[in-house]
Amino acid sequence: MDCLFCKVIDRKIPASIVYEDDHVLAFNDINPQAPTHVLVVPKRHIATLNDLEPGDDPTVGELVRRAAAIAKERGIWAGGFRTVFNTNSDAGQTVFHIHLHLLGGRSLKWPPG
């Protein structure tokens, strides 16, 4: 499958990896939008949130809990951080392998653009 993040998971493309376990990989975004900008991805390919099935619930929970754990490690846990899944074109999704953006380390505006 021609998927950028599957290639990162398979180590066919280099990335700055910050966490790995059997189900989850987290790596620094190549074009960071904040001092912390980490992408947390499932190792199993899921294209968009629209493709989630009930059996994926534990995986999604792991992504969210891992993002919070990385925020804690970075010292941005208490001050606050943002987690975002972009889905399809109106949200600007460019890589079709679900990824939770963890953004923090600066004050973030709301609503997003």
Binding mask 31-70 for Zn ion (x = CB under 5 A): --------------x-------------------------
Q: Hey, which residues does 25 pair with through a beta bridge?
A: 20, 41
Nearer to ligand AMP, 2 or 78 (CB): 2
| Site for Zn ion contains 6 (CB under 5 A) | yes
Stretch that binds Zn ion, among 4-12, 27-35, 54-62, 63-71 (CB under 5 A): 4-12
Single-letter residue type at 7: K
In terms of residues, how long is the chain?
A: 113
Sheet holding 81-84, edge to edge: 17-20, 24-28, 36-42, 100-104, 81-84
The residues annotated as belonging to the active site are 99
